Amino acid sequence: TVSLTEDNAATIEKDTSADADSNLSVNVTDGNTQDSDNVINAAEDESITLKIPGVDSDATEIKFTISDGDGSTGNVVVTLTKGENGWTSSQGTITYDDNGIPTEVTGVDVSSQSDGTLTVSATVTDDAGNTVSLTEDNAATIEKDTSA
């Protein structure tokens, strides 16, 4: 952003981070508030919850990638995009904080993923094109067990 002051001096705002306060994180739950096992069972595999606290106000895209480590099933990708009329999601329902910034997506379908450990990574892009990725050490995991 470039602006002129009273004395016609230019000021420039430099934005080099999609996570200016370094507080972005990703979490995943089975979506069931009635149990505390946090294991995705057959009744829950179409309704998990992805949480992304710490998103900066200048974010324009949040992309979650859910992998089961089985190359034959492919990843589940959930993309939240900020447009002129607000945020949209490729699946699920977005929950917002008091400032209108997404904090979670509920109702995400992982039924196509194999049983075992699911890994959830996230990438956030801001309006300056900066990205921050939560992968490997910063990714979230959850167990999926849909067998009887």
CA–CA distance, 111 with 108 (Å, rounded to integer): 9
CA–CA distance, 117 with 143 (Å, rounded to integer): 5
pLDDT of residue 83: 94
pLDDT digits (tens, 9 = 90+) for 23-69: 888 999 998 888 879 899 999 999 999 999 999 999 999 999 999 98
Q: Is the dihedral of CA 23, 60, 95, 30 positive or negative?
A: negative
pLDDT of residue 18: 74
Given a contact cutoff of 8 angstroms between Cβ atoms, the answer to whether 134 and 120 are in contact is: no
Specify the pTM: 0.86
